[in-house]
Structure 1
Amino acid sequence: MLIFPLALILVLGSVLQDSFSSDVKLDKMTVEYVVEQHSPIGEGFNQFAKTASGKQIVFKEAKSAKAGKSAVENGDAVGFVAVGNDLTVTTNSPSQIEMSVLNGYLTQFTAQYRLASTIIKVDPAQAKILQNPPKVSDSAVTIEKQASGNEITAFEYYAIAMIAMVMMFGINSGISVFREEKVRHTDVRLFIAPIRKSTAIIGNFLGAIFMQAVALILLMIVSQLFFGVHWGHNALLIFVIYFSLLFLSVAIGMAVDVFSNGNPAATGAASILVQVFAFLGGAYFPTGDGLMSKLSPIGWVRVGVRDVMYNDVISAAFWPIALNIAITLVLVVAMSYWIRRKEVY
């Protein structure tokens, strides 16, 4: 019950961690250029090339237009810029990110040049300011990313999903509740006892969830200690979400056994059902928040836990808890009615 999900978290988290990373590493880009004629735009681009070159991109003056285009064809440069009365850019199938960066720099130059031309026309005395613009330190701007439901690690994702899948395995515990009574031949005594059938069902139901609840606590602790899953200040609420799924899974298992009149094939059918729920709910690969997740208890619990945990949306816990408890109550009532009518376990 513990080794299997922990092993899956370790394996899937290790293998697929790169696919969950939102960080993009971009190699240093080289852009070659040639100023074809002496002009204000050529002088402006020469100055821009010197100031714009840095850690991300280098503007390098080519010996000739032919040499610059050859560098692009050979992959030594991302692009070549011919500066005349306008800018002519030559590229050789750059990546979308490289193209975006190059467009960003050239758009910046165009905007600066137009601004400078306008200022000089209006007030030529301000030209000195344009020649010596204030410099900004590379560390002047820092970017801080906050964790969100869309930016979690592979270990965190699979820990959330696998714990939900383990709770779904409560189906097997639910199936064995009344079956064990039959094996021990205590089902007759339970049936003729002067208690309501719903009381017997609820008693067996609570007994079946005890070990699963212990497993839930251990999985949450181990995943935080070894896989870096920070349940945060809403850990108790997250526990309740998982616990409601445990209620539902045990109720489904008991219902399968009761409605099938103890058919041994029900165990195999229940195992298949768990795997279907795991597939739809994103236990093995991400399925997002779309229709597939909404068709699986694992899916709606996974999404609810994620939103509570990373986005601090407390209301996201209401839907999975309410839905799990509602379906559980319907199944318990249906089992009580079925047993009363059929008088069998």
Structure 2
Amino acid sequence: PSNKSVHDEYIQERSLHSKRKPGAMDYYAVAMTTMIALYSALPGSSLLRGERTRKTADRLLAAPVRKSEIFIGKLTGNVAANFLCVAVVMLFSQWVFHADWGHHVSLVWLLMLTEVVLAISFGLGMSYMARTEGAARTIAMVIIQLSSFFGGAYFPIDETAWYAHLSPLSWMNDTIFKIVYANDLSSVVPTMLLNIGIAALFLMIAVVSMARREGL
């Protein structure tokens, strides 16, 4: 055999631009999961304000723990509970509907975790910025719906549109699709840092507001 035929046996060509694209089920598995993660803002909006509404804040403050410990405990527990819900949705889509989550699932898990932290921090910050619990939930719901609409949760959005990257779902979905279908990990760290940075801003608002209050 010629040298060319021998070389053809072990030389593999691979395109730099993957031709793989998500099917309908694959697309909405990602879009719905990131949207559900964003809905974590609703329980976040009543995380501490709910204690005041139910008249249980005084009991918490009477306990031999500091306000910072109450804050961290409530925040950690809420993040864990909401991340578990997101994990169930993601696993269900993978096992039942056979949605493709790629070969870097651990990175997708980390991305989802940072989005849950972002959503809960946003809701928590809103609970201190709004005057009532109802107002905080309303503001959170409106922003969730707008983010879902412009982030491609209901139908694909043109990535070149000016509003395409205003929603946290836009940069989350874009990063996940790059991981799954292009094996491109370049956006993972920037997206995580963006989520954590925005979360830190709202947590700062909540911490400063709580420090100025006598109670929670």
TM-score bracket, shorter-length normalisation: 0.7 to 0.9
Offset of residue 310 of structure 1 = 1.2
Aligned residues: 202
Q: Decide whether the 8 Å contact of 1:260 with 1:266 is kept in 2.
A: yes
Deviation at residue 180 of structure 1 after TM alignment? 2.8
Instruction: Work out which of the residue numbers 159, 165, 172 in structure 2 matches 1:294.
Output: 165
TM-score calculated relative to the size of structure 2: 0.83
Say which SS state the counterpart of residue 159 (structure 2) adopts: coil
For structure 2, the 5+ residue unaligned runs are: 1-13
| 2:58/2:215 contact within 8 Å kept | no
Contact map agreement 1:304 1:317 (CA 8 A) in 2:
yes
2-structure distance, mates of 1:240, 1:149? 26
Which residue does 2:214 correspond to in 1? 343
1:229-248 aligned within 5 A: 229-248=99-118
Aligned match of 1:249: 119
Q: Which runs of 5+ in 1 are unaligned?
A: 1-143
Q: 2:50 aligns with which of 163, 180, 190?
A: 180
Shift in Å, 1:202 = 2.1
Are 1:238 and 1:305, in contact at CA under 8 Å, matched by a contact in 2? yes
User: Do the aligned residues in 2 keep the contact of 1:300 with 1:320 (CA within 8 Å)?
Assistant: yes
- What is the match of residue 207 of structure 1? 77
CA 1:196–1:283: 2 relative to 1, 3 Å:
same
Instruction: Render the CA deviation track for 1:103-139: whole Å, top value 9, x for unaligned.
Output: xxxxxxxxxxxxxxxxxxxxxxxxxxxxxxxxxxxxx
CA RMSD, 1 decimal: 2.4
Whole-angstrom CA distance in 1 between matches of 2:207 and 2:64: 15
1:334 maps to which residue? Answer: 205
Selected match of 1:276 from 140, 146, 153: 146
One-letter code aligned to 2:213: K
- For 1:227, what is the secondary structure of its paired residue? coil
Letter in 1 for 2:180: M
Give % identity: 28
Higher relative contact order (CA 8 A, sep 6+): 2
1:217 equivalenced with 2:50 (yes/no): no
Q: Is residue 201–residue 332 contact of structure 1 (8 Å, CA) maintained in 2?
A: no
Q: 1:255-270 counterparts in 2 under 5 A? A: 255-270=125-140
d(CA) in 2 for partners of 1:273, 1:237: 26
CA 1:268–1:334: 2 relative to 1, 3 Å: closer
Q: Distance in 1 between matches of 2:198 and 2:72?
A: 15
